[in-house]
Amino acid sequence: MIFSDIKQPHQTTVVSDLTVQGQGASQQQRVEFCDNDTFMVELSSFSFVPLFTMSDKTDSNKPVKSFRLRGITASIFENSSEDGKSFYKVSLQRSYKQGDEWKSTNSFGRDDLPLVSLLTKQAWEFILNTESKSQKEDK
């Protein structure tokens, strides 16, 4: 989403906004689909109760995969639930140089958003492929 021409035909982007209250959560989700000159946005909202809680022990704090583009990084972390099942979380950050010092932030400007969209799509595809491979190995 960083360039005005970054939208590819048949490009789909899923954007979520999560609000947690008590044990439940509310999520607003937007699906964007680009079909040549047509750009559609579909909104949906739903509520859910987490099916699992994260385990307190973590083997590593290193990402299993990172995608980088123009100073923005999407890092994918593998976590385990208490019942031993794996799930993934994605962390986004933008690196910038202030004077001689490198810093990072999780805030993004208007022109960063196309890159964020592209990187989250790559992260999403990696997670889906990894989960698919894992399910095939379990059979």
What local confidence, expressed as pLDDT, does residue 84 receive?
A: 87
* Per-residue pLDDT at 135: 85
pTM beyond 0.85: no
CA distances from residue 35 to 41, 69, 138 in whole angstroms, order as listed: 11, 24, 37
Q: Quick: pLDDT tens for 12-41.
A: 555 555 555 555 555 444 445 455 454 455
DSSP letter assigned to residue 81: B
What pLDDT sits at residue 7?
Answer: 47
Could you read off the pLDDT of 77-132 as tens digits, one per residue?
999 999 988 999 999 999 999 999 999 999 999 999 999 999 999 999 999 999 99
For 115-125, letters b (16+ CB in 10 Å) and e give bbbbbbbbbbe
pLDDT in tens, 43-71: 444 444 444 444 444 455 899 999 999 99
Give the tokens for residue 40: 């559609």
DSSP output for 50-61: -S--B-S--S--
